[in-house]
Chains A and B, each alone.
Chain A
């Protein structure tokens, strides 16, 4: 715990953050992205989008990753929104 406290803060960098209408869609996005090799991870839904709880998908902000994400989830789910935020 002491070492963790001494660790310098991880710098927040721009990411593409995707919100969904349900937790199931967030978990589906994770599964589909892992299958398709799209980098990213699930994070708590940022308060910049809404303070209403939930999960979001965070990934590198480049256009190529965004396109790969949209291709991976197409036909499976419709994202609620895509944002560029510091994560």
Chain B
């Protein structure tokens, strides 16, 4: 199988990741629930992962990196923890349902009002409209760093600057960026960064989290045991326990720490360069295949290693099935949990096929995908 669904999860990981998980399964007890050698091994594993995430983000407060199951839970923690009755929120048409649905739910309950920075039919986000969207009660702007559908990178630093000028908080969804493009919290101006471990970070599923700048107050999403301050009736105010209740995923976080060691050693810039080269190779030939429509290509704009396309005469699920079953190439069809972006592109009814590359994707993989698309295009053309 040639795995080109890395925007969903990276299948190929550094071998150190599985080994670290295996070691932790054998040796890690319960983090923060005891001081025996085995329990401290688990606590070291979790603390080590926290330090490495902070280092990758250029964030000076590792204690304010709280772990969750994934980016969705991190975003829910940020959104439900930050927003108060009467707040107004700005988000974008690029967003994943992990942002849209929590906001929609709060809006349905009558708690908040939401506006969306629009994307046009070419998949371009109109950031110039942003300034006029702010209201006196705008509490936050919540934006993805890159579209999970087209790979288009958002100028999130510009969004944060405007947000701060209006006294609003900047929340960054880095699910599609952390690990494949540089994410420096300070340089971007993000007050909260939500991330997942199983995509470009190349860690295990079930790992993710959020980094919360000092001064940003969140009401915890989950409440329960922390292993500290057990007599207090409410969740401790101190981080990371403020946002972490229940036994931590020490095995998964051991794997994430191992993945981060590899990534920090490698350098995110190298991953970015690798994926950009693969994307160019793919898009350049893709445009020569009759009947192919590629979405959201903007010369001069940055993209991650993600490409969305359709082939005339085939719906997206049929094309993805042909690629998987007949050619052994994994992609993803449908709406990619990004309904507003598909609506902007005019693909809400047929979806699209998304190819997404990772650090372990090779030029051979890209060429095999192009050859398969050529064959299928000839059949249906």
- Chain A residues proximal to chain B, CB less than 8 Å: 21-28, 30-31, 42-45, 50-55, 77
Contact = CB atoms under 8 A, between A and B. Distances in A.
Nearest to B43: A27
A22 B43 contact: no
B35 A42 contact: yes
B373 to A, nearest CB: 49
15 contacts: A21-B238, A22-B63, A22-B240, A22-B241, A23-B227, A23-B228, A23-B241, A24-B46, A24-B240, A27-B44, A31-B47, A42-B35, A52-B228, A52-B231, A55-B43
Given A22-B239, A23-B241, A52 B50 contact: no
A23 B229 contact: no
Contacts of A22: 63, 228, 236, 238-241
A25 B344 CA distance: 47
Contact of B229 (A25, A43, A54, A55): A54
Identify whether the interface residues of B are mostly helix, strand, loop, or mixed: loop
Interface in B52-70: 62-63
A71 to B, nearest CB: 20
B230 A52 contact: yes
B31 interface: yes
Contacts of A30: 40, 44
Nearest to A45: B228
B93 to A, nearest CB: 38
Given A31-B47, A54-B227, 13 more contacts: A21-B238, A22-B228, A22-B240, A24-B46, A27-B46, A28-B63, A30-B44, A42-B43, A51-B231, A52-B228, A53-B227, A53-B229, A54-B228
Q: B31, B227, B228, B231: which has the most chain A beta carbons within 10 Å?
A: B228
Which bucket holds chain B's interface residue count? 20 to 34
A23 to B, nearest CB: 4
B72 to A, nearest CB: 24
A28 B48 CA distance: 9
A53 to B, nearest CB: 5
A27 B241 CA distance: 14
A24 B46 CA distance: 8
A60 B241 CA distance: 29
Contact of B32 (A23, A28, A31): A23
Interface of B: 31-32, 34-35, 40, 43-44, 46-47, 50-51, 62-63, 227-232, 236, 238-241
Contacts of A51: 231
A45 B229 CA distance: 10
A54 B226 CA distance: 9
Contacts of B228: 22-23, 45, 52-55
A51 B31 CA distance: 18
A16 to B, nearest CB: 17
Given A24-B47, A43-B35, A44-B34, A53 B240 contact: no
Contact of A55 (B32, B50, B239, B240): B32
Nearest to A51: B231
Contacts of B229: 52-54
B232 A52 contact: yes
Q: A27, A31, A45, A54: which has the most chain B beta carbons within 10 Å?
A: A27
Given A22-B241, A23-B241, A42-B40, A55 B35 contact: yes
A31 B40 CA distance: 12
Contacts of B31: 23
A35 to B, nearest CB: 12
Nearest to A23: B32
Contacts of A45: 228
Contacts of B47: 23-24, 27-28, 31
A20 to B, nearest CB: 9
Given A51-B231, A54-B228, A55-B43, A24 B34 contact: no
A50 B231 CA distance: 9
